[in-house]
A and B are shown apart, each in its own frame.
Chain A
Amino acid sequence: MAGNRPHEQARDDVSQDVGQSADKWRVANLVPRLFRTTAFRVTIVYMLLFVVAVGLLGAFIYRATIVEQRSKVEQELREEIFLFHAVYEDKGLLGLGRFMDKRVSLSHTVLYYMVVPPYGNKIAGNLTNFPTGDYKKDELFEFTYELVSRNDNDPFGEPAIEVRPAMALVTRFPPRGRQSLGPLVLVGRDVTDIVSIRNAARSAIFHVGLVTLVLGLVVGIASSRAFLQRLDDINRTASAIRSGDLTKRIPLSGGGDEFDNLAVHLNMMLEQIERLMVGMRQVSDNIAHDLRSPLTRIRSRLDDALRADDASQRQALVETAEDVERLLATFNALLAMTRIESGERRKGFEVIDLGDLVEEIAELYEPAAEEAGFELSCHMAPVPPIYASRELISQALSNLLDNAFKYARHENGQNPRPKIEIRLTPKLGGGALLEVLDNGPGVAPQDRQRILNRFVRLDQSRTSTGSGLGLSMVAAVVAAHHASLSIGDGLARPNPEDGEQGYGLGVRIAFPPAEKKAGQLANSGAELARGEAATKPTHG
């Protein structure tokens, strides 16, 4: 039967199994995982601290009430004994007995018991028995006694017997007359009130401690579960990404807590990784395209040359060497771009004056422009310094000029007066705007957005000579500088033949002003504006 099952269903079952076992795993591991979380550990520590605090408080209250009471009782009893002793000294054993009985009749709470050794018979007092159990002489001890009370309305009925707690001191008076041993005297007091307070205090302390403990555990488990849930979100996203779904992002709780903060940063990192991955894919596509066709060309030329005569062979070799040279240039450009793209470091970045840099590059290109019949002009206003890599900016500018040379040149009757203009102006809100404008064929508006995408190139530039990576490289350099790039209209094209007034290509790069710290470059416009106020243009 299982064999007849359609494939899809079978696959569904498998995935369900996997899901279930994952759930089981989660449940089975939840408890130990809870205990291992930081939140739980922190809660436990706090809970223990609370319990200790409650314990200390309890001990203080206990001491303040019970121990004080106890010593008060002891004091009372000692005074009583002192009094008895005086009576005993004065009136003897019998006198003491009478005195004792009289005091008993005055109070409900005092307990007396007097024995005379060696017979041990009771002489006076209201205790029926001498308390059993251990006691030390002259030390307060606790015992229980039975209080027999009769109902006033029914003097002959069964007496009620109540077991009550008491404290007492036992002392032996010195012998008098021919006695070898003095009387043993117990002076006690009913302590039902004290004991009930003590019990109440003990149970209160115990219960408060217990509640603290339980509450702490509950809060600890709850908070660590919440903690784990957020972590599980992150882990789930991570494993989804590991299994190839680069578009997954960590969900935000929206509370703006530190987890959201972390998630936002991780998501930004994931975005960057995805962007790089897409970039890498495009790079390999480009490599495939840009390297495969010249390699194919070389291959077929060599095949031809193998069958050809010496002179043709030599010619083929020369052409092949040129092809290889171009291949290397493309390869190097791709590598350089990937390095810039990765943006892993901004070494070689410094605060520079764009004006100097533009002048240097213009100076480098000026003779070539003149020879190619270009009118190369620079319009430069003082701009605030920017934080940039001289090397990379020079290279980008050089690429833009190469591009303009390539497309705006006077050829086949096109563009009889080729022009290139470099403009450098301070940007509104700080920073500098660098423009390279030409009066060549320009780029159609629908292609301009595409040209800004990383590694995307227009077909027309792909098919012409050179590595054709110029603008992509510029885009990479611009991105590495947290600058912005826009492709638009350049100079007016003197092309009145078809009556249509056109524009050449205009590439504009807006640089943020130099900040004290490089990391702040990417930040908000408000900071950029402040940067402008702080930095003065140095270029004259």
Chain B
Amino acid sequence: MRILVIEDDASAAAFLVKGLREAGHAVDHSLDGATGLNMAEAGGYDAFVIDRMLPELDGLSLLQKRRDAGDETPALFLSALGEVDDRVAGLQAGGDDYLVKPYAFSELLARVEALGRRRAPSNVTTKFTVGDLEMDILSRTVRRAGKKIDLQPREFRLLEYLMRHAGNVVTRTMLLENVWEYHFDPQTNVIDVHISRLRSKIDKDFDKPLLRTVRGAGYKLSDED
């Protein structure tokens, strides 16, 4: 992916850029809002990572300008402001995701990659396939190797989210936010247990595991080895 990072904290930005490049992305970087806006206008990016508080032009206005100009590039806000209102303001300005500082890099990477995926027209598809695992949203059925698998409604939503982001790492926080709609992290490993239940239904009787744990990051549904 080509990613534009607009972040005024030079060392945080350097770390971010390095991490994203190591993950195989092409990254451009700007230290202030005005330059960032110019670079964004030049186009060609798959995702923006924008700090909310920037010199010259703040992050919200910057993205608002791009959205007004019809730019639909998915954007993730980074911010030290983490209240519900701040999140809402970020989403209203056209942001697609919102990450509160300080964050773990693995969390940011997973979310940025999920953004790139969001761009694909998967939102309107009603059928997903990962390897021999198939999901039909309309009939609410899941089959693996042609065999029907019964899922609880929540398990179905969990799998649906994983399938929409197949091939990408999905963090526990992302699952909590998107599948359960909670914006806090329980101390108990509730998500892990849900995942292992789901895994026992879709992977247990089959040779090739599809739902994998990515150490220190989260989970990944993938057919690759």
Which of B84, B185, B190 interacts with A364 by CB under 8 Å?
Answer: B190
Nearest chain-A residue to B176 (Cβ)?
Answer: A364
**B188 located at the interface, meaning its Cβ lies under 8 Å from any Cβ of chain A in the complex:** yes
| B175 CB, min distance to chain A CBs, angstroms | 11
> For B193, what are the chain A residues with a Cβ–Cβ distance below 8 Å?
367-368, 370-371
Which of A325, A332, A395 interacts with B104 by CB under 8 Å?
Answer: A325
Tell me the bound Cα distance from A395 to B184 in angstroms: 7
Contact with A along B180-196 (1 / 0, CB 8 A): 10111111111011101
**A394 located at the interface, meaning its Cβ lies under 8 Å from any Cβ of chain B in the complex:** yes
**A401 located at the interface, meaning its Cβ lies under 8 Å from any Cβ of chain B in the complex:** yes
With A347-B84, A347-B85, A348-B84 as contacts: A365 and B190 at CB distance below 8 Å: yes
Tell me the bound Cα distance from A402 to B182 in angstroms: 15
Asked if A360 and B180 make an inter-chain contact with CB atoms under 8 angstroms apart, the answer reads yes
| A447 CB, min distance to chain B CBs, angstroms | 21
**B70 located at the interface, meaning its Cβ lies under 8 Å from any Cβ of chain A in the complex:** no
CB within 8 Å of B: which A339-393 residues: 339, 347-348, 360, 363-365, 367-368, 370-371, 391
Asked if B187 and A402 make an inter-chain contact with CB atoms under 8 angstroms apart, the answer reads yes
Contact with B along A467-505 (1 / 0, CB 8 A): 100100000000000000000000000000000000000
> For B85, what are the chain A residues with a Cβ–Cβ distance below 8 Å?
347
Tell me the bound Cα distance from A185 to B163 in angstroms: 129
**B197 located at the interface, meaning its Cβ lies under 8 Å from any Cβ of chain A in the complex:** yes
Tell me the bound Cα distance from A370 to B200 in angstroms: 15
Asked if B102 and A394 make an inter-chain contact with CB atoms under 8 angstroms apart, the answer reads no
**A269 located at the interface, meaning its Cβ lies under 8 Å from any Cβ of chain B in the complex:** no
CB within 8 Å of B: which A431-479 residues: 466-467, 470
> For B190, what are the chain A residues with a Cβ–Cβ distance below 8 Å?
364-365, 367-368
Contact with A along B144-165 (1 / 0, CB 8 A): 0000000000100000000000
Interface residues on A, range: 20 to 34
> For A399, what are the chain B residues with a Cβ–Cβ distance below 8 Å?
187
> For A332, what are the chain B residues with a Cβ–Cβ distance below 8 Å?
82
Asked if A364 and B187 make an inter-chain contact with CB atoms under 8 angstroms apart, the answer reads no
Tell me the bound Cα distance from A402 to B185 in angstroms: 11
| A540 CB, min distance to chain B CBs, angstroms | 19
**A329 located at the interface, meaning its Cβ lies under 8 Å from any Cβ of chain B in the complex:** yes
**B224 located at the interface, meaning its Cβ lies under 8 Å from any Cβ of chain A in the complex:** no
> For A402, what are the chain B residues with a Cβ–Cβ distance below 8 Å?
186-188
Tell me the bound Cα distance from A209 to B84 in angstroms: 67
> For A470, what are the chain B residues with a Cβ–Cβ distance below 8 Å?
187
Asked if B154 and A391 make an inter-chain contact with CB atoms under 8 angstroms apart, the answer reads no
Tell me the bound Cα distance from A372 to B196 in angstroms: 13
**B83 located at the interface, meaning its Cβ lies under 8 Å from any Cβ of chain A in the complex:** yes
**A398 located at the interface, meaning its Cβ lies under 8 Å from any Cβ of chain B in the complex:** yes
| A117 CB, min distance to chain B CBs, angstroms | 104
> For A467, what are the chain B residues with a Cβ–Cβ distance below 8 Å?
187
| A363 CB, min distance to chain B CBs, angstroms | 6
**A226 located at the interface, meaning its Cβ lies under 8 Å from any Cβ of chain B in the complex:** no
Tell me the bound Cα distance from A538 to B46 in angstroms: 47
> For B184, what are the chain A residues with a Cβ–Cβ distance below 8 Å?
336, 391, 394-395, 398
> For A401, what are the chain B residues with a Cβ–Cβ distance below 8 Å?
186, 188
Nearest chain-B residue to A331 (Cβ)?
Answer: B102
> For A395, what are the chain B residues with a Cβ–Cβ distance below 8 Å?
182, 184
> For B84, what are the chain A residues with a Cβ–Cβ distance below 8 Å?
347-348, 391
With A347-B85, A391-B84 as contacts: A364 and B183 at CB distance below 8 Å: no
Apart from A367-B196, A367-B197, A406-B187, what 19 extra A-B contacts exist at CB < 8 Å?
Answer: A325-B104, A335-B82, A336-B184, A339-B83, A347-B85, A348-B84, A363-B154, A364-B186, A365-B188, A365-B190, A367-B193, A368-B188, A368-B189, A368-B192, A394-B184, A398-B182, A402-B186, A405-B187, A467-B187
Closest 8 CB pairs of A and B: A367-B193, A402-B187, A368-B193, A395-B184, A368-B190, A398-B186, A405-B188, A466-B187
Chain A contact residues, CB within 8 Å of chain B? 325, 328-329, 332, 335-336, 339, 347-348, 360, 363-365, 367-368, 370-371, 391, 394-395, 398-399, 401-402, 405-406, 466-467, 470
